[in-house]
Structure 1
Amino acid sequence: MLIKKLTFLFFICTLISSLFITSKAAVILQYHHVSDSTPKSTSISPKQFEVHLQYLADEQFNVIPLPQLVNALKNKKSLPDKTVAITFDDAYSNILSQAKPILDKFKFPYTIFINPQLINSSPKPYLSWDQITTLSDLPNQQVTIANHGLTHDSLARQTKNKSKKEWFTQQTNNLLLAESIIEEHTGKSFKFFAYPYGEYTPELQHWLNENDFVAFTQQSGAVGLSKDLTAIPRFPASQPYDQLASLKDKLYSMPLDLSMLIKDTSNHQSPITTYSSIKDVTFNVKVEDFNRNLLTCYISGIGKQEVEWISADKFTLTFSKPLPVGRVRSNCTAPSIEKSGRFYWFSQPWFVLNADGSWYPL
């Protein structure tokens, strides 16, 4: 009888642990164009976009409005397993002409991050204010209109004709202006911000946090309750990442909770560095549900990196080559022990400047 009771308790504990692992995570997909005639690097064809949404429907993913997801993160509330939010950057007109009919077919909500000063520009690749307002007025948070900056300028690149303080004040004022313009046209202010080009600084993150903004990046990874709300990851789902085979792993991914420690303390926790200034990084691990020997890390431009475990909860990556100049991502994944076929996923972006400290071209 005792053995049966212990077996039952073990089963219950395992079940609770399993639910805990998957019920507090979500995936956010990032798109730009839905078109056959726009730049491939920021596009997905309407046909392939429908393949994505059909898979979400067939596999019974819980596709929810982004405000609902953010509210759960803010309040540390559990999310149903297989929760997904759909986002678009830049408010291209093909979102209305090509994407919306497909989204309507599946009744999926979505978010559009816009640059208010570019709306009604000429030539006109963007949605108009009338179109944006109409979308925003749809019921049940079907469409969320959010902030992508006043224009599409990077908020990490200081201009040379202003002091750092003057430049930062101007950029944050522009961000607030963009939010007020969105609220003026839609009657709503969610204070969601998607970084243009995915570039950000610790100073900007601090300001966003102090001003109650939630910010979204462009590096991959699932979203967990412990995630920094000024660096919420999204999986790019346009070309060349639009194939369903790779998207499936991302949709079923779970957050790998890591904190990065850089030995060069001048760059501690900052994603901005200069060429060849960082030789290695060390991560603290807060997840136990994976085999340490199966953790793999890849860095764009230099490939798979050797993982050296320092302790049970800490490992180091010593780069095989200098991080290349440009936007660089490190993706670390590990298969779950309890959830067969599912992976933990973490992505760290770096913005690697030239050796002289100058920025790479956009």
Structure 2
Amino acid sequence: MRTRSSSIIVRLATGMMSGLVAFGLLMPVAVAADWASVIMYHRFGEGQHPSTNIKPEQFRDHIAELKSGKYTVLPLSEIVDRLERGEELPDRTVALTIDDAYRSVFDVAWPMLRDAELPFTIFVSTEPVDKRFSDYMTWDQLRLLRDAGVHIGHHAHTHTRLPALSPDQVMAEIKTANERFDAELGFVPAIFAYPYGAFGDEVKTVIRNAGFKAAFGQQSGVAYSGYDRFELPRFAMSENYGGIGRFRLAANALPFRVKDVTPSDNVLSRNPPIFGFTIDENYGSLKTLSCFSSSQTGGAVPIEKIGGRRVEVRVSTPFKSSRGRINCTLLGPDRRWRWFGSLFYIPNGVGR
């Protein structure tokens, strides 16, 4: 991930306000920030798909938390624009996103979000809608959402793993979906989400050249103004990872600013990867820094700290499927966690 310089003024203002609050000179307020947590869902009340489903009662708890007064829920497009311009956001800014346009979004999630008056973005792959798959929404339903102010995002045409395609094939996916969006909704979405969260340098280049303003993956982390806007992170929620405790951790998370990430490409040529990064901000003690790999069980994996800010993660077990994750966390102020995650695509024959 390549980063740009973040707003020093925003950080200084945030630190000064936090200090005044700590000494009782000001009441707690939503201080200025240059980051936001983006939450991702797929299915609602579809218990036969637990890895992508959230239970309705879990979702109600999430909405109640967001309505508690601690958070500012904004449309994803507004957050993207303000981060790109380096503008301030309220602390604990959150965006809600939903991938794939399953029918349960229309039947279960939308009525709850509509009643709560919470904005959200739904990322649509056009082929399943065109083919009228029974568990997907229809174009008529998507038009109803559009007319009600729901934001529609781009999720390619066939919902395939884009790194498995050639750049020309990826562009064909985009162009086909563009034609269908324009024909059915009257516009082409400006924000993209990678199917399965899978991307690499070649795919990112195609998406950038296709004219999108930003693209989101499925790696955990907080989006901030210096983050590469074509690999922005999201926190995925599911039955097993969607309890109110984890939701609060994600919604309250702080940015983990890093640079010089290796490997630089999320499509692996070596499995397991030689993974490392340089911390791009002074966080003080790193005693609570831990990293976890989806290929290894039993807790955190070994890390080596070099020169104060360089971190090398020692993953010894290869990823067994086409996707692999490494997540690193660091305890920050007020018991809020900093998150930095990477999601890798592992081609067939690369260590698995």
Alignment of 1:322 onto 2:323: no
- Aligned to 1:344, the other structure's residue is in SS state strand
Equivalence map 1:229-244=2 (5 Å): 229-244=229-244
Q: 1:15: which partner in 2?
A: 16
Structure of higher RCO (CA pairs closer than 8 Å, 6+ residues apart) = 2
Whether contact under 8 Å (2:295, 2:317) holds in the other structure is no
Q: CA contact under 8 A between 1:297 and 1:331: conserved in structure 2?
A: yes
Larger Rg: 1
Residue matched to 1:271: 266
SS of aligned partner of 2:335? coil
* Conserved? CA contact 1:32–1:92, under 8 Å: yes
TM-score if structure 1 supplies the norm length? 0.84
Deviation at 1:275, TM superposition (A): 5.7
What SS does the aligned partner of 1:95 have? helix
1:91 is aligned to 101
Aligned to 1:102: 112
For 1:46, the aligned partner's letter is P
- Which residue matches 1:194? 193
In the alignment, the residues of structure 2 paired with residue 233 and residue 42 of structure 1 have an alpha-carbon distance, to the nearest angstrom, of 17
Aligned partners of 1:62 and 1:80 also within 8 Å: yes
After superposition, the C-alpha distances for 1:11-43 in whole angstroms (9 at most, x for unaligned) are 988415779996111011111111144411111
CA distance in 2, matches of 1:90, 1:237: 14
Classify the secondary structure of the residue corresponding to 2:187.
coil
Indicate conservation of the 8 Å contact 1:291/1:334, yes or no. Answer: no
Query: 1:350/1:13 Cα in 2 relative to 1: closer, same or farther (>3 Å)?
Result: closer
Measured in 2, the distance between the counterparts of 1:210 and 1:122 equals 30
* Residue 126 (structure 1) shift: 1.1
From 139, 157, 160, the counterpart of 1:153: 160
Specify the SS of the correspondent of 1:71.
Answer: helix
- Range with bigger deviation, 82-91 or 36-45: 36-45
Please tell me whether the aligned partners of residues 32 and 88 of structure 2 are also in contact (alpha carbons under 8 angstroms).
Answer: no
Corresponding position: 1:32 with 2:42: yes
> SS state of the match for residue 273, structure 1?
coil
Equivalent residue letter for 1:186: L
TM-superposed CA distance for 1:46, in Å, is 1.4
**Per-residue CA shift, 1:255-309, capped at 9, x if unaligned?**
11123443xxxxx41112256463x322111121342122111111214122211
Q: Does 1:333 align with 2:334?
A: no
Q: Please list every run of 5 or more consecutive structure 1 residues that lacks an aligned counterpart in the other structure.
A: 1-10, 159-166, 263-267
Alignment RMSD (CA, Å): 2.4
Secondary structure of the residue that 2:162 maps to in structure 1? coil
TM-superposed CA distance for 1:60, in Å, is 3.1
Report the secondary structure of 2:344's partner residue. strand
One-letter code aligned to 1:64? L
Instruction: Indicate how the Cα distance of structure 1 residues 168 and 269 shifts in structure 2: closer, same or farther if over 3 A, else same.
Output: same
Question: Could you tell me whether the CA contact under 8 Å between 1:25 and 1:225 is conserved in 2?
Answer: yes
Gaps of 5+ in 2: 1-11, 20-28
Q: Do the aligned partners of residues 117 and 322 (structure 1) sit closer, same or farther apart at CA in structure 2, a change above 3 Å counting? A: closer
Which residues in structure 2 correspond to 1:1-362 (within 5 Å)? Answer: 14-15=15-16, 23-138=33-148, 142-158=149-165, 167-213=166-212, 214-262=214-262, 268-274=263-269, 276=271, 278=273, 280-302=274-296, 303-336=299-332, 339-354=333-348, 356-357=349-350
2:292 counterpart SS class: strand
Q: Deviations over 1:313-355 (max 9, x none)?
A: 212112243344431111111111xx2211111001122344x
Q: Would you say the 8 A contact 1:113–1:146 is kept in 2?
A: yes
Report how many residues are paired.
329
Query: Greater shift after overlay, 240-249 or 183-192?
Result: 183-192
Residues 62-104 of structure 1 show CA distances to partners (whole Å, capped at 9, x for unaligned) of 1111111111122121111111111111101111111111111
Q: Any idea what SS the aligned residue of 1:156 has?
A: helix
> Could you tell me whether the CA contact under 8 Å between 1:223 and 1:232 is conserved in 2?
yes
In 1, Cα distance between the equivalents of 2:347 and 2:151? 34
In the alignment, is the contact (CA less than 8 A) between 2:268 and 2:345 conserved in 1?
A: yes
Q: Could you tell me how far apart the structure 2 residues matched to 1:195 and 1:244 are? A: 26
- Aligned identity (percent) is 27
In structure 2, what is the Cα distance between the partners aligned to 1:75 and 1:215? Answer: 16
Offset at residue 210 of structure 1 (A): 2.8
Distance 1:330 1:22, change over 3 A: farther
